[in-house]
Amino acid sequence: MSSKCIFIKVSGQVQQVGFRQAVFKMAQQMNLEGWVKNKANGDVDIFACGDKNNLQELLDFSCQGPEGAEVESAEFKWYKYRDEGKGKVFEIR
């Protein structure tokens, strides 16, 4: 298994459409750790760590979003995985 981390900034009509909840559910199903949160400017930020294939699937989903979302852009950056011993927890912030 190849573990990585990814930060994704999603812009567009991505708040009040169930975006965070959809990301949270997906991340839990894929055993990812990290967080998703709304930003004051209307963006949604995601930071997730885990299997690189699962992270790619999360990125692909984030580029489209759930039904009702209108994603204008999804900027992302990959990071080396760091096991900080916090356990496999993904949360909505």
Name the active-site residue from 31, 38, 41, 93: 38
Q: Say whether 20 is catalytic.
A: yes
Q: Give the neighbor-by-neighbor strand order of the sheet with 70-80.
A: 70-80, 3-13, 44-51, 33-38, 90-92
Tokens read off for 72? 């204008």
Q: Say whether 53 is catalytic.
A: no
Tokens read off for 24? 């949270």
Identity of residue 93: R
Name the active-site residue from 20, 41, 53, 82: 20
Catalytic residue positions, numbered: 20, 38
